[in-house]
Amino acid sequence: MTETPSFPPLMTGLATGPANPFVVACAEAEKGTDSGLLAWSVSDERLRAALVLAPEMPLGRAMAAFCACAVGFQNALGTLAPPETALHLDWTGGLRLNGGHVGGLRVAASTRDAAAEPDWLTIGLELTLQLPDALEPGQTPDWTALNHEGCGEIEPLHLLEAWSRHSLIWINELEDAKGRHSLYREWQGLAWNMGQEISLPHEGQRLTGTFLGVDENFGLLLKTASGTRLIPLTTLIEDP
């Protein structure tokens, strides 16, 4: 395994060891670190990383970077995994490998005001490389790992490098309407349970309805018994 990953010129790597890269990246962002910091950590069981951005647009539009990083991960895995491997994206950030949860993305920002331009936006990635030895394949049908899905030969840091490159490509697409539309089409083609009934947490309760799609800022359109609701991506923001 490569000990020091190579990232695009606009990104700066920061190895965090056992510390959570998402927590570290958010702390660095609050200190005023430059956009492009990519904190990362790899163990036998997990790959974790977090990218700090400084979007020059209102938060509501900037949140598309969350979807850009999700599509970037799918593209990265696609370059390294066997051809039959299928990865889909939950709207909430979950990553589904051949149908099972294999990890997910999370997001924090300096503000929750959709109309305000954030000082920083941090997008985290967590990926299960292998499940505990005590668990047999099939024992956890809704959870899986790379090595259980024929992807055990992938070097985690090679995947991290690929994620950084593909995510940056899609993030750069967010500057204009044509690029955002390309991301919109790509993401919708990878969305998990589009057109089906889903249940998700929202403001302390669970909402159930039909997942109709997303709006231009990737807000979830959910058809419920009381009508169609728009749930903005900003509702996924965590406290740093």
Give the pLDDT confidence score for residue 78 in this predicted structure: 96
d(CA 109, CA 167): 18
SS3 of 170, please?
helix
Same-domain check for residues 221 and 145: no
Give the pLDDT confidence score for residue 204 in this predicted structure: 83
At position 214, the amino acid (one-letter code) is V
Residue 141 has pLDDT above 70, yes or no: no
Same-domain check for residues 204 and 157: no
Domain coverage including residue 212: 197-238
Same-domain check for residues 77 and 105: yes
Per-residue pLDDT, averaged over 211-215, amounts to 97
7 belongs to a structural domain: no
Report the domain count for the chain. Answer: 2
Same-domain check for residues 26 and 116: yes
Same-domain check for residues 156 and 114: yes
Mean pLDDT taken over the chain: 94
Q: What is the CATH number of the domain that holds 31?
A: 3.30.930.10
Per-residue pLDDT, averaged over 23-29, amounts to 98
Same-domain check for residues 146 and 217: no
Per-residue pLDDT, averaged over 139-144, amounts to 77
What share of the chain has pLDDT > 70, as a percent? 95
Same-domain check for residues 207 and 171: no
Same-domain check for residues 108 and 180: yes
Per-residue pLDDT, averaged over 95-104, amounts to 96
Residue 136's pLDDT band, with cuts at 50, 70 and 90, is low
Residue 202 has pLDDT above 90, yes or no: no
**Sheet strands (E) in 44-162:** 46-53, 87-89, 94-97, 100-109, 121-128
Residue 80 has pLDDT above 80, yes or no: yes
Residue 2 has pLDDT above 50, yes or no: no
117's CB contacts (< 8 A; 6+ apart) are 55, 56, 57, 58, 59, 62
Residue 111 has pLDDT above 50, yes or no: yes
1 belongs to a structural domain: no
Per-residue pLDDT, averaged over 62-76, amounts to 98
d(CA 127, CA 145): 8
Same-domain check for residues 30 and 117: yes
39 belongs to a structural domain: yes
Residue 3's pLDDT band, with cuts at 50, 70 and 90, is confident
Phi/psi-derived region of residue 16, left when phi > 0, alpha when psi is between -120 and 50, beta in every other case: alpha
Q: Which residues of 157-177 are buried (b: 16+ CB within 10 A; e: fewer)?
A: bbbbbbbbbbbbebbebbeee
More confident residue, 20 or 138: 20
